[in-house]
Amino acid sequence: MTQHANFLWGTATSSYQIEGAVAEDGRTPSIWDTFCATPGTVTDGDTGAVACDHYHRMPEDVAIMAELGMDVYRFSLAWPRVQPDGTGGGNPAGIAFYDRLVDELLAKGIRPWVTLYHWDLPQALEDAGGWPSRDTAYRFADYAAIAYDALGDRVDQWTTLNEPWCSAFLGYMTGQHAPGRQDARAGMTAVHHLLLGHGLATRAIRDRAEASGRSDRLEVGITLNLAPKIPASDSPADVAAARWADGFDNRLYLDPLLRGEYPADIADKLDELGCPLPVRDGDLALIAQPLDVLGVNYYSSQAVQAGPVGQNGWPSPVALRRDVPRTAMDWEVTPAALTDLLLRLEREYPGPAWYITENGAAYADVPDENGYVDDVERAEYLRAHIDATLEARARGANVRGYFAWSLLDNFEWAFGYDRRFGIVRVDYDTLRRTPKRSARYYAERVAAEKERA
């Protein structure tokens, strides 16, 4: 087998960011519907009510992926569509949409890759306590079972959570994301319950796959947003700041998932800060059960400096502003750090297959009169990061795939429609889709890599 065989190329999206149709076919509100309806939370008061209208234009979007020559499509299920209110049985009308999507993908030769949770918690579960409530982890496992029962005959790749750091930290600690709570203790409790939910859902899916004779083809995993933290200098203070930042953002998730323990330096500090991780007997074994896949969402790295101690004694490292290119998110473009990250994962956390489940960039796109965007910078960003991924693979990291974020311009959370990550432009007035230069680049690169394999 040549070097790039056994490697999947795809694009990724998420339900709330593209679907729209928030009140159709029995879908109930999610925390993001509620958050968007709260003045001052999202740029320009944007909401996901229509988004890309993917719910009604799905066949067109699948046809675009097929034209681009994609192997695989990573999308998320809207929990409030599949299991309204987060309890009880599945909602046939909501599930029917994903049935159609999966069938459409398979008919076009594209493998469906399901993410169960990309942040749209049913509002009813938030009202019952949200992720800081332990019960939500058990509700999540029930929902996973419903989803697997509905789609597991055709879907082999399952991701439990997308970026639990965002759900816990942005959702419950800083309040920049739904549900907008600002409570450090709740945030750290949410970390543990999200991971517990991952473990319970993984077990539910594996049990069902086994019972239906499908376990051989099943791949279950979780996706983390991993941003490498590089000390800004050799000074002990900067080194310690980078170690804290890496521990709080990265190891706090990697260690329990892949080593069965929380990193002691971070857990001890959280105890000291009065925000303990609420671990019960048996939880860590559940969280650390075998993972087939660890999805890596990579956008940027950061050079970290020591900062003044923050509110209530929290360490508050600060990012050094380096002289490197930046995207419209003000994120540094640092592809070499992706190679280093993948090699580090292989060295320190060996076992799972690594997939780049998201990588991409927002830029200030300017369409021509036909809606075409000549996004040279985004195409270059993709080129550099694909090179970096393949470099890590050539040097021994077990990397098995790459997904561009995102297929379409879409609802970029608190930034609303003000930031565009798509390789396909969406005109939000007409909802017309127009592939950008980056889409052409990606399609050509994928074809060339497959040819080489």
Binding site for ligand IFM (CB under 6 A): 14, 17, 163, 297, 358, 405, 412, 421
Annotated ligand binding at 148? The verdict is no
Annotated ligand binding at 405? The verdict is yes
Annotated ligand binding at 262? The verdict is no
Shortest distance (Å) from residue 171 CB to ligand IFM:
13
Q: Rounded to 5 degrees, what angle do the CA atoms 87, 139, 220 make?
A: 125
The active-site residue, picked from 126, 358, 377, 391, is: 358
Residue 306's closest CA among 250, 231, 226? Answer: 231
Q: Is 346 a catalytic residue?
A: no
Site of tokens 């907008």 = 180
Annotated ligand binding at 17? The verdict is yes
* 127: number of Cβ within 10 Å: 13
Would you report the helix, strand and coil content of the chain in percent, each value rounded to 5? 45, 15, 40
Shortest distance (Å) from residue 47 CB to ligand IFM:
15
C-alpha 363/C-alpha 443 separation (Å) is: 20
Q: Are 287 and 260 in contact (CB under 8 A)?
A: yes
Shortest distance (Å) from residue 166 CB to ligand IFM:
7
Q: What is the number of residues in the chain? A: 453
Burial class (CB in 10 A: 0-12, 13-18, 19+), 382: buried
Local structure of 109: helix, strand or coil: coil
Of the pair 161, 270, the CB lying nearest ligand IFM is at 161
C-alpha 120/C-alpha 81 separation (Å) is: 10
Annotated ligand binding at 118? The verdict is yes
Residue type, 435: P
Annotated ligand binding at 157? The verdict is no
C-alpha 98/C-alpha 114 separation (Å) is: 10
The active-site residue, picked from 163, 332, 346, 377, is: 163
Of the pair 44, 451, the CB lying nearest ligand IFM is at 44
User: How would you classify residue 204: left for phi > 0, otherwise alpha for psi between -120 and 50, otherwise beta?
Assistant: alpha
Of the pair 283, 358, the CB lying nearest ligand IFM is at 358
Of the pair 33, 142, the CB lying nearest ligand IFM is at 33
- DSSP H helical ranges for 162-222: 164-165, 184-211
Residue type, 51: A
Annotated ligand binding at 299? The verdict is yes
* 321: number of Cβ within 10 Å: 11
Of the pair 177, 243, the CB lying nearest ligand IFM is at 177
Shortest distance (Å) from residue 79 CB to ligand IFM:
15
User: Tokens at residue 203, please?
Assistant: 């077990």
Shortest distance (Å) from residue 247 CB to ligand IFM:
21
Shortest distance (Å) from residue 118 CB to ligand IFM:
6
Of the pair 238, 412, the CB lying nearest ligand IFM is at 412
Q: Is 358 a catalytic residue?
A: yes
Give me the active site residues, please: 163, 358
Q: State the binding site for substrate.
A: 17, 118, 162, 299, 405, 412-413
Q: State the binding site.
A: 17, 118, 162, 299, 405, 412-413
